[in-house]
Amino acid sequence: MTQSQADDLSKSLKAIADPARLRLISIIAASEGQEACVCDLTEPLNIGQPTVSHHLKVLTEAGFVTRSKRGTWAYYKLVPGALDSLARLLVTA
Amino acid sequence: MTQSQADDLSKSLKAIADPARLRLISIIAASEGQEACVCDLTEPLNIGQPTVSHHLKVLTEAGFVTRSKRGTWAYYKLVPGALDSLARLLVTA
DNA sequence: CGCCTATATCGATGAATGTCAATGTTCGAT
DNA sequence: ATCGAACATTGACATTCATCGATATAGGCG
């Protein structure tokens, strides 16, 4: 594995290597259409709303979720296959 | 996913979410018997020997490699299936 | 327009982390 | 016993990061 490959893979791993972000992914994955509103994510995690917003931004920039605003609400949806392809990279490593 | 499950999974992910540690795993995995001596790991990574030692300790404590000393040399070996079971946890998340 | 609600951004702070230089430890060889 | 080689540990430093409070933005409603 080259240095830049290792850099890329570690960036993806760092993005999900956080308890709060793992739980966010878990909740979104269990939601209808694998999509959830921020209001459904703030309460069950015991962390403040700005922190949730921050974690969702990290996950979005890493390509694990996408954001779509409908009215006042922001909905985050899992990117299909993103987690699977990361898992495949792991066993190939 | 519960809080403690998320904590455990994030600890495993943090252990490999580092370019140097990913390259260490990659080199060990490509070695004969999936085992390599520290002397074979220090040079190709462009980081100092104490740092390599530190990374190997992190990987050992996370259960990805095991250490066995033979003479003056320390050999690190991949734990079979460790990466695979982590990858499986990811797609189930 | 003005208020309220939902979400994002900013700035700060404390904790964790990667790296190094220096030193310690262990083992083989002379 | 002594020396050198291989590896680990320690202490320090700079950077990154998770979290929070305060504030900004943006949309719906009266």
Pairwise CA distance, residues A55 & B87, whole Å = 22
What does the pLDDT read at residue B93?
66
A21 burial via Cβ count (<10 Å: 0-12, 13-18, 19+): buried
What does the pLDDT read at residue B92?
78
Cβ contacts (< 8 Å) between B91 and chain A: which residues? 83-84, 87
> Residue B41 sits in which domain range?
3-92
What percent of chain A stands above pLDDT 90?
A: 97
In 3D, which of A50, A49, A52 has the Cα closest to residue A19?
A52
What does the pLDDT read at residue A93?
67
Cβ contacts (< 8 Å) between B87 and chain A: which residues? 87-88, 90-91
pLDDT in tens, A47-75: 999 999 999 999 999 999 999 999 999 99
What does the pLDDT read at residue B61?
98
Q: How many domains does chain A have?
A: 1
CATH number, position B48? 1.10.10.10
Measured CA B58 to C1' D7 distance, in angstroms: 15
pLDDT at B83 over 90: yes
What does the pLDDT read at residue A79?
97
At A48, the amino acid letter reads G
- Band (A92; pLDDT cuts 50, 70, 90): confident
